[in-house]
Chain A
Amino acid sequence: MLKITGYSDRLYARAGETIDFKINCDDPGEYEAEIVRIVCGDDNPEGPGVKEIPFACAANGRYPARRQEIRAGSYVAVDDPAPLAALKSFTVEAFIWPTTPAKGVQGVIAHRDADAGFALMVDASGCLAIEVGDGTSVKTLSSDAPLLARRWYHVGASFDASDNSLRLFQLPLAPVPRVADEARMKVTASFKPAEAASPVYIAALPELRAVSAFYNGKIDSPRIFGSPLDDASLASLAADAPIATGDPIAAWDFSADMHSQRAVERSDGLHGRVVNFPARAMAGWNWTGEIMDWKQDPSQWGAIHFHDDDIYDAGWETDFSLVIPDDMPSALYAARIRMDGAEEYVPFTVTPAPGKESRIAFLLPYATYMAYANDHLGTDGGNGELLNNILNVLNPPDLFLNEHWEYGGSLYDNHSDGSGICYSSRLRPIVNQRPKTQGVLGGYGGSKLWGLNADTHIIDWLHAMGHAFDVITDEELNDRGVALLEPYAVVITGSHPEYVSTEMWEATRSYLDGGGRLMYLGGDGFYWRVAYHRECPGILELRRAETGVRAWSAEAGEYYQSFDGRYGGLWLRQGRAPQGLVGVGFAAQGFDLSSYYRRTPDSLKAEVQFIFEGIGEDELIGDFGLIGGGAAGLEVDRAAPELGTPPNAYVVASSEAHTNAYYIVPEEFLETGPALGGDENPSVRADMTFFETPNEGAVFSVGSMAWAGSLSHAGYDNNVSRITDNVLRRFLDPTAF
């Protein structure tokens, strides 16, 4: 089990900038921190081996170990609810769509101290309840009618100080005959609620030491009135109509500033802090289904979907910092933490100073690492063994994450209530995207790598072949745009740049149109649109809309991203299929054995001879490798003119003989039918493709995640390495093709 975890505030930095490292250790004592350059993280004895180069700097040293905790769970906190203090009579109400009503006590709206104030909640029996504290004890009134999951209710409670009557209502918006989930209760209390000093919490309850009792589900339009509302007023609220009894003291409008972490309050400015990024731009109680884009009428998206396992910023204290020295070369680095046999790596990159760039950039697809960050593919859902057609192999990060959901899940996981996780943050330890880690989807036997560690195969190859190169991240590309790429003659992608923001996509397009040359050495690239948050660092959003290979599916009406209002989902569905950018696009996946490529007649044409110098016409390409035993595997891409492969593209080699664990992706077929597998379907293949772009630019794509794992075979002397080197050297030559 992992005993050290850590993260940093920044992913990339330049000379003079500071990265803060935040470390948690299970055991007391001291740990050793050393900044190391990561060349290769693959610890497979059949591979190139782990290669790290220590970097001497002031941050290296011994530091005291301490425990730092992560507190997952999202909620809204209104820190200074002074206008509520003098309330004698009140009504508290909201629309709710609970997803786990039976899980135990969950806060809905609470303004409660230990024995004062009130809390509207889902109680231990799964029923709506109101707790009221009179200053000495707490009284509870329950609806005694269990709420149903995933159905909308208008709920609330009121207290009338004139006659001490306490009312509770739980009203299904779509009542069902013989389902007893409606309740209207009224009791006369022998007490009056005492004034509470606590903040107001929505979707959680205040406890002595921490916020807890997190609610799962949606809450829409929570309001507090300074009087008891009668049935007519409640009916008006449920009809979205004005009420005669006056304005609320507090009315939180979650449809306002949906991109933000602010809960706007419309009456008195009692704005709340939204903590841990619950899902926003969620279809509300009044969504008609007539429009799909929340920007057209935000009031129909006034719900926030809260989860007890949402996590954004772990908020740990800084243990040590690194000021990037002027002489620190651009590379992938990590702060390596060691203590008593335990080890952790916190990766980061250093960007070169302007004017000091190499001619080659390796573009680290960190957005995709974040998509897979802390995935539970080996232990939860998905039934990976059936998908992979091999036994699931669990490694230490899998076992750790299985028991530590407070570290959050990936964009491949579901929340505890079954809804898909649509935000992923790097301000938490991402324990599965490290050197020396394996991935459950990394193929049979071999190195079994995925993500960051798989991409060290490319870094290792560049290093071994003696190429000078910089390492930059796609997050910086998102932040800075094409200016980041412009200094480079050649940009090389990682093995799996699947998740791409609009800013990243457009920068890549601009680079190619401006004469840039791109080597796409991966598979399933440029597939999903994502959005980085514009104000909060280190978090991105994905909506798994419409189609695609989906671990979960976005709910109807929830296809538009909350961060930027753009339509989410596959780039294919935005009119920007990957084939239009890099010639090939995701066609099939399988996770047992990889295969090889065979040259096509196109490969004999004079225009592409540079690719195959030193390689025989009949030579199988990549029938070896550390990822599933071949260069064509895991997720593979095909050329498709109908999807945008440019008419000047040459498909110079294609893979074949994939196993029947490979299936074409869902968007490749419209009707169900047989022959979808690799042993029958002709679209199950990787197409190696080359084409020119304007201004003497060019793209070379291999369309396979496993390519990188074959580069080091036979001491880097093999046809995968040779093709890659042939293309790289030709791309570095500025003469026209």
Chain B
Amino acid sequence: MTRSIYKVDPEQDFAFAVEFMEKPVGHHSAGLQRLLNLFRGEPLEGKYVLVCVKPHREWRLARLTGVRGKPVELVGDIRFTDLETAERAVFRLRWKEHTGQDLAIQ
């Protein structure tokens, strides 16, 4: 599987973050897709996933361990009742991890 070595530029990429927040899933601009290839292509260790707790209704945030057979680790008690909100929340977490800054979009 491919990986990205792109480095996030918090100023130049801000417009793409805005684009993602408006529409997290679907057709993306090339610039947003480049950002997503970095975020979504992170290694399995610590990678964010959603754990379904009520089918089609509720999901919890979790992280993979990257170690075969080791249980998935829930992240606090962060719950989502729709998948778009979950996508935005994880994007914010990754933005901060890569830039050191909170994503200043409401």
Binding site for B on A (CB under 8 A): 43-46, 378-383, 385-387, 389-396, 399, 402-403, 405, 416, 436, 438, 444-445, 447, 592-593, 657, 659-660, 679
Contact = CB atoms under 8 A, between A and B. Distances in A.
B83 A444 contact: yes
B40 A385 contact: yes
Contact of B1 (A378, A387, A659): A387
Contacts of B1: 381-383, 386-387
A399 B71 CA distance: 7
A391 B41 contact: no
Contacts of B86: 391
Interface string B32-53: 0100110011011001111110
7 contacts: A383-B40, A383-B43, A393-B83, A402-B71, A438-B55, A592-B25, A660-B27
A229 to B, nearest CB: 39
B59 A393 contact: yes
B47 A385 contact: yes
Contacts, number: 96
B28 interface: yes
B75 to A, nearest CB: 13
B56 A44 contact: yes
A378 B64 CA distance: 9
A387 to B, nearest CB: 7
Contacts of A436: 55
Interface string B54-94: 01110100101000111110000000000100110010000
Contacts of B43: 383
Interface residues of B, number: 35
A393 B26 CA distance: 17
A391 B83 CA distance: 9
Contacts of A392: 49-50
Contact of B41 (A46, A386, A403, A438): A386
A394 B62 contact: yes
Contact of B83 (A44, A46, A445): A445
Nearest to A678: B27
Contact of A659 (B2, B3, B26, B71): B26
Nearest to A1: B71
Contacts of B44: 379-381, 383
Contacts of B71: 399, 402-403
Given A381-B1, A386-B37, 20 more contacts: A45-B56, A383-B1, A383-B40, A385-B41, A389-B40, A390-B25, A390-B87, A405-B68, A438-B52, A438-B55, A444-B25, A444-B83, A445-B25, A447-B56, A592-B25, A593-B25, A593-B26, A659-B28, A660-B28, A679-B27
